[in-house]
Structure 1
């Protein structure tokens, strides 16, 4: 609801009260007859009401307005102000009663109707809200959008769409109306009508790139990939310099085995400053997945990633790390995981990926250093104590390994696999200390847990 129609509180009385009244009052002259006394008393109570309303003393404002009413019951502004104050007090019955009296006196007063609309809207009285807003639409076309919203509430979707079409034709497109239109299409599941609307928009204005992109997306969403592909090619014909169309084209090219065209589209996306980092990361992730299934294009992946070396985000580096790990290139995988961690140093998943890969490549000193920092961030993560222990066992520091493991076991809950790993490392550490009985005892514990799994 817009509720945009407000006026300065002091001016309300001046604008709405009959001008003849003001012509009779000289505020610089002390009243010397009954009429003057009455008028002066009325003004005193009325402006007191405005003052009390301004400081949110709505009860006192009502009291002052009732005194005004006792002096003159023919001024619609008194009932209007009473209605507003009762509305603030959530006394909707009294608010409605007084506002209706004001409207009876001035049926075409927009302010009165708007306040009554608010009373009904707050009570979720859609029937009366619709009745009132239909009166308001006569005076202010902006209320048509509110009316459309009420039609949606009443599930009168056809009437809502008709109103939105009228507004679009008269004032041009707007995000708020498009949002409402999309809500209607989503609720009704009417994908065809949504697409028809976009097609009509494109017919009316072929150079509007956004509508083309929306149409491509809607076709894709409904599973009509052929039409989506044709819509993308149509946009490229109309706007050969479009960058955003390649966000769709690269996928279609890959599906059609037009790999060179796909690579060209991917490069266009990744080098376009207009396209945001999240979209670029998604495109690169898709291409990484493609290359993982088609390793003959790895050189192209290297070329493409070089295009974004200066601005790859953490997610992109992480995706590349997993790609290289799957491809068996642990050095490149570790490099990318570390680069991702530089950008997001508190990401536990990245910390874990780096530490486990460092263990895998036997870089135990790096594990000890990085695990110590990680434990400052996550002192209750048993996995960090375990990797530290593994590294300490491998650098011949079994006592430190035992300290790590004993602390880590305190945080271990319902994870028999990791618990078995803890006992295995304890067995190794005690064996290095030549405590064979403890070493064998922990080895048995580890074996028993593995048997249970």
Structure 2
């Protein structure tokens, strides 16, 4: 009977458990007593349980399984299926008891144990999950990593580190285990232990770049700058072609007042295809600040910016635009802001800079056209109405200017400076229309606001 049950499970896509030896049944032999009827009834009920579960009638599936158990309570899979149905019905107490019953009848069944482990994890019963996953460790080493993660959750950090050390020794370092390890060090404040672990890795694997990089980062985080600098230089000796190490070296060189070396490292970072745009932006920002204090190195900055002029990173291009704006090189600033806008057309700050630069550089056709487009996107932003009005005045279209400026006035909230600018532009518009009375009215309003401030 039991063998037939497992054949049914296989047919319905449920895993067969090959670890268990079941009694053999001669299916060709006709029953010579009432046992045959019992067996048929059992199989009929089990089939019904699977069918009802398949169409999500979990309560009916439970009823059928309980009737199966009345006929033969020695079949472990009945309790396993019962537990899964109870979970679907959110009868968690009954689900736990059913899964535990299945395991008691077949203690080495990995699938039963894994189901109970998953149940405990879903219920956040981590202590019970630990007991269960300890039984699963003998099946796969992956469960050992799960055990370490559970120890982290229950704050049993010593046990967790012990397991992580064992796994690292057996399988080598992994990103996932390092993440757990760092969680532990952060939670316990054991930074010295963290550094010792990394120092040992460098000593054991002197050719592995990632070990040095992690150690440099942790030294820096722990304010051990000299050790971090020495480790970075040691990495460069071992791997002269390393590009990522320059993310640390440029900063150390700057702090050490070694401008030439710092600039050399910065250029390597900017050119490197291995380094992410976000990291390059940070270096470029530092580069800009450095040149701001040391203008004799501006040619090096120009060279570095040329390397990223084709960058697809809006932040990098915006940062360069801000630098040239601060240097009052407005044409160059506009060039970078326009490039940034091609990548991120919705960036409000960049839009604002571009439009203001169009006005400053007397590109009034572009200012009018672009500000008109932007007003459709940001209809409640008075600045864009003002820019559009200024451009229209300069293009000798005063009637359109008055219309757009008076519309924009309605959106000004507690900004006297902008209100003054609007009144001055309206005064210009009405002056161009030869309406001297209105021109004077708006001019007087502007002066009155200036006086009150």
Does the pair score TM above 0.5? yes
Query: 1:152 & 1:411 partners in 2: Cα distance?
Result: 54
- Bigger drift between 161-170 and 436-445 goes to 436-445
Which residue of structure 2 lines up, in the alignment, with residue 146 of structure 1?
146
Query: 1:303 & 1:121 partners in 2: Cα distance?
Result: 56
Which residue of structure 1 lines up, in the alignment, with residue 401 of structure 2?
401
Conserved in 2, the CA contact under 8 Å of 1:96 and 1:116? yes
Q: Which has the higher contact order (CA 8 A, sep 6+)?
A: 1
Please provide the CA RMSD for this pair. 2.4
Deviation (angstroms), 1:439: 2.7
Deviation (angstroms), 1:306: 2.4
The aligned runs of 1:306-317 (5 Å cut-off) are: 306-311=306-311, 313-317=313-317
Which residue of structure 2 lines up, in the alignment, with residue 213 of structure 1?
213
Conserved in 1, the CA contact under 8 Å of 2:311 and 2:317? no
Query: 1:194 & 1:378 partners in 2: Cα distance?
Result: 51
Which residue of structure 1 lines up, in the alignment, with residue 22 of structure 2?
19
Query: 2:25 & 2:363 partners in 1: Cα distance?
Result: 94
- Bigger drift between 339-348 and 211-220 goes to 339-348
- Is 1:427 aligned to 2:427, yes or no? yes
Deviation readout 1:267-299 (Å, 9 max, x if unpaired): 222222222333223322221221122111111
Deviation (angstroms), 1:133: 2.2
Which residue of structure 2 lines up, in the alignment, with residue 174 of structure 1?
174
Deviation (angstroms), 1:69: 0.8
> Aligned pair in 2 of structure 1 residues 16, 37: CA closer, same or farther (>3 Å)?
farther
Which residue of structure 2 lines up, in the alignment, with residue 273 of structure 1?
273
SS for the counterpart of 2:43 is helix
Which residue of structure 1 lines up, in the alignment, with residue 202 of structure 2?
202
The aligned runs of 1:96-111 (5 Å cut-off) are: 96-111=96-111
Query: 1:14 & 1:202 partners in 2: Cα distance?
Result: 46
Deviation readout 1:286-315 (Å, 9 max, x if unpaired): 212211221111111122222333336332
The aligned runs of 1:343-362 (5 Å cut-off) are: 343-362=343-362
Which residue of structure 2 lines up, in the alignment, with residue 324 of structure 1?
324
Query: 1:451 & 1:158 partners in 2: Cα distance?
Result: 71
Query: 1:214 & 1:47 partners in 2: Cα distance?
Result: 57
Which residue of structure 2 lines up, in the alignment, with residue 89 of structure 1?
89
Conserved in 1, the CA contact under 8 Å of 2:312 and 2:343? no
Query: So what's the TM-score if we normalise by structure 2?
Result: 0.90
Query: So what's the TM-score if we normalise by structure 1?
Result: 0.90
> Aligned pair in 2 of structure 1 residues 34, 432: CA closer, same or farther (>3 Å)?
same
> Aligned pair in 2 of structure 1 residues 410, 256: CA closer, same or farther (>3 Å)?
same
Deviation (angstroms), 1:409: 1.9
Conserved in 2, the CA contact under 8 Å of 1:250 and 1:261? yes
> Aligned pair in 2 of structure 1 residues 431, 307: CA closer, same or farther (>3 Å)?
same
Deviation (angstroms), 1:143: 1.7
Deviation readout 1:176-234 (Å, 9 max, x if unpaired): 21222222222233322222222121111111111211221222222222222111111
The aligned runs of 1:382-393 (5 Å cut-off) are: 382-393=382-393
Query: 1:413 & 1:31 partners in 2: Cα distance?
Result: 93
- Is 1:36 aligned to 2:36, yes or no? yes
> Aligned pair in 2 of structure 1 residues 129, 364: CA closer, same or farther (>3 Å)?
same
Conserved in 1, the CA contact under 8 Å of 2:17 and 2:109? no
Query: 1:295 & 1:333 partners in 2: Cα distance?
Result: 17
> Aligned pair in 2 of structure 1 residues 344, 14: CA closer, same or farther (>3 Å)?
closer
Which residue of structure 1 lines up, in the alignment, with residue 286 of structure 2?
286
Which residue of structure 1 lines up, in the alignment, with residue 413 of structure 2?
413
Which residue of structure 1 lines up, in the alignment, with residue 6 of structure 2?
none
Query: 1:184 & 1:445 partners in 2: Cα distance?
Result: 66
**Gap regions ≥5 residues in structure 1:** 1-6
SS for the counterpart of 1:350 is helix
- Bigger drift between 202-211 and 218-227 goes to 218-227
> Aligned pair in 2 of structure 1 residues 114, 452: CA closer, same or farther (>3 Å)?
farther
SS for the counterpart of 2:279 is helix
- Bigger drift between 295-304 and 417-426 goes to 417-426
Deviation (angstroms), 1:91: 1.0
